[in-house]
Structure 1
Amino acid sequence: MSTAHAEDLPLIRLRGLTKVYGQGQAAFQALKGVDLDIEAGDFVAIMGPSGSGKSTVMNTLGCLDTPTGGEYLFHGLHVERLGRDQRARLRRRYLGFVFQGFNLLARTSAQENVELPLLYRGEPAAARHRAARAALASVGLAGWEHHTPAELSGGQQQRVAIARAIVTQPEVLLADEPTGNLDTQRSHEIMELLWRLNEEQGITVLMVTHEPDMARYARRIVHFVDGCIDSDTRNPEPGPQARHAAPVQEAG
C-alpha cells in the first residue's frame, strides 16, 4: 500500500483534519483542523478532557470513522478518499485494536478468541491455531489457551485481547483506555506489555488514556483540548521506569 513519495512521509500524517457531528444549530465540531505526524515505531499517548476530540481522532486513525475535512495519509495513501470496503481492508491488514472492556466472547476459549481475526481472513485452521498460540505466548499466557474469560482475571483477559489484536501482525496497535478496568498493579503489567511490543516488535502504539501514570510509558504525549492539539511533547524517560518518574500533568 503506497503512493509516490510515500517513503518520504511518516507512517501517519493528518493535515487540517476536521470532524463535525450534526447539522445546523445542532452541529458540533469535534476536531478543528488537526495536524499530526506519527512515525513508524512510535508510542503515542493521546490525552485530554472529555469532549476534547481524543476519541474522535482515535476512531478516525482506526478507520472506524471518517473526517469531515482535511487529509489522513497512511503510508502516503489518502485514507479520507477510501470507500467503506477499502477502509475495512486497510483496518484488517494494518491495524489492531484493544479496548477498555476487553470485548471477549464469554463462552469461547482464549485461543478461539485470539483466532477470530484470522478466521475472518479465511486462514486455514492449522495456521490459525499456530498463530494464536504464539500470540498468547508473547503476552505471557502460554498454557492458558483453553481457559474461558470467566476463568481469567481482568489482567489476563486484557492480555488475551492484546493477543487477539497482534495475531494479525499489525503495524499499528490502537488502544482505547486499555487499563481503564484494571487495578494499579494489573495496569502497570499491561503497560509494560504494550511497551515491550513497541520496543521489541516495533509495533506503533497509539493509546488514548486519561491516566497520567499510564501515559508516562509512552514516548510522546499529545494533549487535546476543544478539538485541537494543545501540546505535543516527547517523554524523556518512557517505558517501565515510568513507574518511578515524576507525574505527567493532565491538561484541561
Structure 2
Amino acid sequence: MYGEGQAAFQALRGIDLRIAAGDFVAVMGPSGSGKSTAMNILGCLDMPSSGTYQFQGVHVERLDRNQRALLRRHCLGFVFQGFNLLPRTSALENVELPLLYRGEGALSRHDAAKAALARVGLAGWEAHTPTELSGGQQQRVAIARAIVTQPLVLLADEPTGNLDTQRSHEIMELLVTLNREQGITILMVTHEPEMAAYAQRIVHFIDGRVTEDQTPGEATCG
C-alpha cells in the first residue's frame, strides 16, 4: 500500500506466489500492474504493508532494516536495465564492489571477481572500463557483479532492455546457463515475450493480481 487516505494506492492485491529453489521465473505485465512492487518486495527493497514473505522459511516481514540488508548482501544478486557500472572503474573493480562492502580482503576480492568475469565470458577483459565495452559486455560485467557473492537468488529487472536482439539473446543464454549449471534461482521482469520464453515459468500481473502462471508453450492459468 502506497500513500494514505484518498491518495492510498494498493499496488498488490492478495497475490500468492511460490518460487522454488532453482526456478527461472519471468514476470510480465503492463506498467502499473504490480510486477515491480513484487520484485522490490522479493528483493527486500520494499516491505509489504500486510501479508507474509518467507525466504527459506524466514519471515522477512519480521526482520529489521539491518537484517534485511544482511539478507540482500548474502543471498540476493541484482541486475538492472541500466547496468549501473562505475564509469571510470575497471570491470574487475566494478565486480569487486559487493565484496568490498562485505569487508573481504583485496586478494580474495580480486580472485573472486576474476572468476566471476570468467564465468560470464569476459576473461581477459578485467582492466577495461565500461566505456571500452559494448552494451552486452557491460551487462555481462553487471551480471558478474551480481553473482560474485554466490547469491541464492538473482533478480533481474529488464536485463535486456538496453540491448539489441543479438546481445539480448546472448544475455538470456547466459542467465539460462547460470540457472541450470549453478542452480541460481532467477526472477526476471521483462516486457519482451521472446525473452520471457527462456524462463521455466511466466507469471503475468494485471492490476496488482497474478492473472496467469504458465510454462512457455502452455496456457495453464493460476
- Whether these two folds match at TM > 0.5 is yes
* One-letter identity of the residue aligned with 1:209: T
Task: Report whether the alignment pairs 1:175 with 2:161.
Answer: no
The whole-number CA distance in structure 2 between the counterparts of 1:234 and 1:140 is 29
- In structure 2, what is the equivalent of residue 244 of structure 1? none
8 Å CA contact 1:218, 1:235 repeated in 2:
yes
Superimposed CA distance per residue, residues 20-71 of structure 1 (whole angstroms, 9 cap, x where no aligned partner): 1001111111001110110000000000000000000000000000001000
- The alpha-carbon deviation at position 234 of structure 1 amounts to 1.8
- In structure 1, what is the equivalent of residue 4 of structure 2? 23
The equivalent position to 1:198 in structure 2, one of 172, 175, 179, is: 179
* One-letter identity of the residue aligned with 1:78: H
- The alpha-carbon deviation at position 221 of structure 1 amounts to 0.3
Secondary structure of 1:142's counterpart equals: coil
- In structure 2, what is the equivalent of residue 115 of structure 1? 96
Secondary structure of 2:121's counterpart equals: coil
- In structure 1, what is the equivalent of residue 138 of structure 2? 157
Matching of residues 1-252 of structure 1 within 5 Å? 20-235=1-216
RMSD of aligned C-alpha atoms?
A: 1.1
TM-score normalized by the length of structure 1: 0.86
The whole-number CA distance in structure 2 between the counterparts of 1:65 and 1:184 is 32
Superimposed CA distance per residue, residues 135-176 of structure 1 (whole angstroms, 9 cap, x where no aligned partner): 000000000000000000000000000000000000000000
* One-letter identity of the residue aligned with 1:164: R
The whole-number CA distance in structure 2 between the counterparts of 1:66 and 1:34 is 15
Deviates more, 1:203-212 or 1:227-236: 227-236
The whole-number CA distance in structure 2 between the counterparts of 1:138 and 1:55 is 28
The whole-number CA distance in structure 1 between the counterparts of 2:59 and 2:180 is 28
- The alpha-carbon deviation at position 236 of structure 1 amounts to 5.2
* One-letter identity of the residue aligned with 1:63: C
TM-score normalized by the length of structure 2: 0.97
* One-letter identity of the residue aligned with 1:194: L
* One-letter identity of the residue aligned with 2:118: A
Q: Which of the two has greater strand per residue?
A: 1
Q: Where in structure 1 are there 5+ consecutive unaligned residues? A: 1-19, 238-247
Superimposed CA distance per residue, residues 179-224 of structure 1 (whole angstroms, 9 cap, x where no aligned partner): 0000000000000000000010000000000000000000000000
The whole-number CA distance in structure 1 between the counterparts of 2:166 and 2:56 is 37
Paired residues in the alignment total 219
The whole-number CA distance in structure 2 between the counterparts of 1:91 and 1:138 is 22
- In structure 2, what is the equivalent of residue 7 of structure 1? none
- The alpha-carbon deviation at position 235 of structure 1 amounts to 2.6
